[in-house]
Chains A and B, each alone.
Chain A
């Protein structure tokens, strides 16, 4: 029972972590709570459904499941990244020098717009993911872990490792770190700050899209309103880990998933959403910079 809940929690948590990374990266660089990020995740899930539907229409046989899944990940990632970059360009970039709360309101506007756009074009009802994942699993310490769960965990770990490599090893990653430390200074030493920000949005959106497809396959359903709750949870995870910190978002996401699964199983399933927030409040009161946020107050700058 306990092991089973931990496995479920880890699965859920790794998805939260993928979404949380988008929040934390954007926050780290432009200090914006990107409220539309949940919608980007939802867009990714829909793009995944659409591309899987297309593949089925084209007559790709079910035996090619891995290929079609890979293709829909790619499609979803590209579509979401395009949306993320466009949203940044149209709704956030003009507001970089504006009062602090203005981009927040703009983000809420984007969120309302995208939700309604998908609702109008794809309908308000649930859409069913056209593929089914083989459900056999392996037994592990008396619990069952399905192939899908293994797949989700592996995909998340792989992506997070790739992201860490990207941030720490590449030129663009270095530019991103520089920009998040001091945007003016980064500009002075010749970093194209606009491009760095665009890339940040693209990567964050791509990760969210992958999370969207993973969750879509996991639950088998998507709806235009899924972005809201997922966004809220992922944002919580990002703050829990220390917003602006990439390892923090990963840790926060996994912790949040575990908390929810264990809380729902052992305390009360009705209040499972409340645990996440109560723990968050407690963490922030005793450690305001989050679990892995820097303590030098840089996280506390308004």
Chain B
């Protein structure tokens, strides 16, 4: 709405440009089609703008904001409805939908954990998937090695991940910003390489098969629905724990560190301790997600824990709106469900997904639900 396309011919210029760009890859015929599509699409947009779109947009915005305020007033009701929908999902959905919902919930758990580190404490972490992998392998090894039950594997996975979180946390305490990002990225890659090459323990690239599913008493949770309920409970627990901890003294200390580390130190916050705590707790949550993932798939291999996975989880946190718990949940849901919805256009789904990520960021850089308190930091000084 702000940029480009004052006159329709601009769109044809863009169309021609895009056609030129794509020409070497798709050939002349497709390039012409692309040019026409961009040009005509742009003109259609332009024509649509003649319609009093601004008033329409402000109307939508008003409706939305009044919707928000209503939602705010009836938050409990809305939450109840959402919960009810999630609780009853397996009753009317098929296994595919339940499976996608379960995966979404696992990502919700992971995104919540990463949000603790990136959104709440402001530490840019690009190797988060390492802890996810450590959690998954911990349960996998305990289950296949000593036939430990899920209820032992789960805390063990969290503990192992948290320990590695501390191992990573100590040396990087001094690093900030992008340097922290690259060291955590390196840590993630090294972890994946160890998982892939340490054949004696991890069975190398073939991964570990035959991980036991969790059971309650004598009841094995091997149907999609029962497993879904397990993950739902764990995700809700994680969400609840996050809410509580963010409102506590610890959560406020993290925000203080995020906003201004020096100031936080000045008012007596033990920055090193709280950073380590953030690393360890975030890692523990990833370990939780990992053990659930291993139990769901009954199989783990190093290929599930690539850098790309870290980036996708980070996208969930940023896309939804950093530091905002509903935003993180929404971001995880959007990024997991969108590619599934696009299965109809199977070949093009990742293409559209990538474009959608760019568009979302360009038009809503603060994320879908940006947290108010975050409006301030992470922002560079304004130009002009």
Interface residues of A (CB under 8 A from B): 27, 31, 33, 35, 46-47, 50-51, 75, 79, 82-83, 86, 90-91, 94-106, 108-118, 120-122, 183-184, 187, 193, 228, 232, 235-236, 239, 243, 268, 270-271, 273-274, 277-278, 280-281, 284-285, 288-289, 299-302
Interface of A is mostly: helix
Chain B residues 163-215 with CB under 8 Å of chain A are 171-172, 174-179, 181-183, 185-187, 189-190, 193-194, 196-197
**What CA separation (Å) do A94 and B315 show in the bound complex?**
18
Q: Knowing that A31-B178, A50-B25, A118-B25 are A-B contacts, what are 4 other residue pairs whose CB atoms are under 8 Å apart, sorted by A's residue number?
A: A98-B379, A116-B350, A184-B384, A277-B189
Contact pattern, B 319-333, Cβ under 8 Å of A = 1, otherwise 0: 100100000000000
Is A277 in contact with B190, judged by CB distance below 8 angstroms? yes
Task: Assess whether A271 is in contact with B24, with CB atoms less than 8 Å apart.
Answer: no
Residues of B in contact, count (CB < 8 Å): 62
**Contacting pair A288 B174 (CB below 8 A):** yes
Are A113's CB and B351's CB within 8 A? yes
User: Contacting B197 at CB < 8 Å: which of A91, A114, A116, A270?
Assistant: A270
Are A109 and B357 touching (Cβ within 8 A)? Answer: yes
- Mask: chain B, 349-384; 1 = CB below 8 Å from A; 0 = not: 011011111100110011100000010001111111
Q: Which 10 interchain pairs have the tightest Cβ spacing?
A: A109-B357, A113-B354, A98-B365, A112-B354, A277-B186, A302-B177, A109-B358, A102-B365, A106-B361, A116-B351
**Which residues of the partner chain B approach A112 to less than 8 Å between Cβ atoms?**
350-351, 353-354, 357
B24 and A79 contacting across the interface, CB-CB below 8 Å: yes
Residue in chain A with minimal CB distance to B170: A285
Query: Whole-angstrom distance from the CB of B87 to the nearest CB of chain A?
Result: 32
Which residue from chain A places its CB closest to the CB of B374 in the assembled complex?
A99
| Bound: A31/B379 CA distance, A | 12
From the candidates B355, B358, B365, name the one contacting A99 in the complex (CB within 8 A): B365
B354 CB contact (under 8 Å) in A111, A236, A271? A111
The number of residue pairs between A and B whose CB atoms lie closer than 8 Å in the complex comes to: 179
Which A residue's beta carbon lies closest to that of B311? A108
Q: Is the CB of B186 within 8 A of A102?
A: no
Q: A273-B193, A280-B183, A280-B186 are in contact. Are A183 and B358 (CB under 8 A)?
A: no
Contact B378 A101 (CB under 8 A): yes
Q: How near does chain A come to B34, taking the closest CB pair, in angstroms?
A: 11
CB pair A284–B179 under 8 Å, yes or no, is yes
Beta-carbon contact of B189 and A232 below 8 Å:
yes
Contact A243 B178 (CB under 8 A): yes
B156 at interface by CB-CB < 8 Å: no
Query: Of A114, A184, A277, A280, which one neighbours B381 at CB under 8 angstroms?
Result: A184
Q: Is B68 on the interface with A (CB-CB < 8 A)?
A: no
Q: Which residues of A sit under 8 angstroms from B378, Cβ to Cβ?
A: 99-101
B226, CB-defined interface residue at 8 Å: no
How close is B383's CB to chain A, nearest CB, in angstroms?
Answer: 6
In angstroms, Cα B376 to Cα A100, docked, is 11
Contact (Cβ within 8 A) B26 A121 = yes
Which residue of A33, A46, A51, A82 contacts B20 across the interface (Cβ within 8 Å)?
Answer: A82
B316 nearest CB neighbor, chain A only: A105
* Docked-complex contact B380 and A236, CB < 8 angstroms: no
Any chain A CB within 8 A of the CB of B45?
no
Chain B residues with CB under 8 A of A183: 383
Distance between Cα atoms of A288 and B174 in the complex (Å): 8
Find the B residue at minimum CB distance from A120.
B347
Q: Is B53 an interface residue (CB 8 A)?
A: no
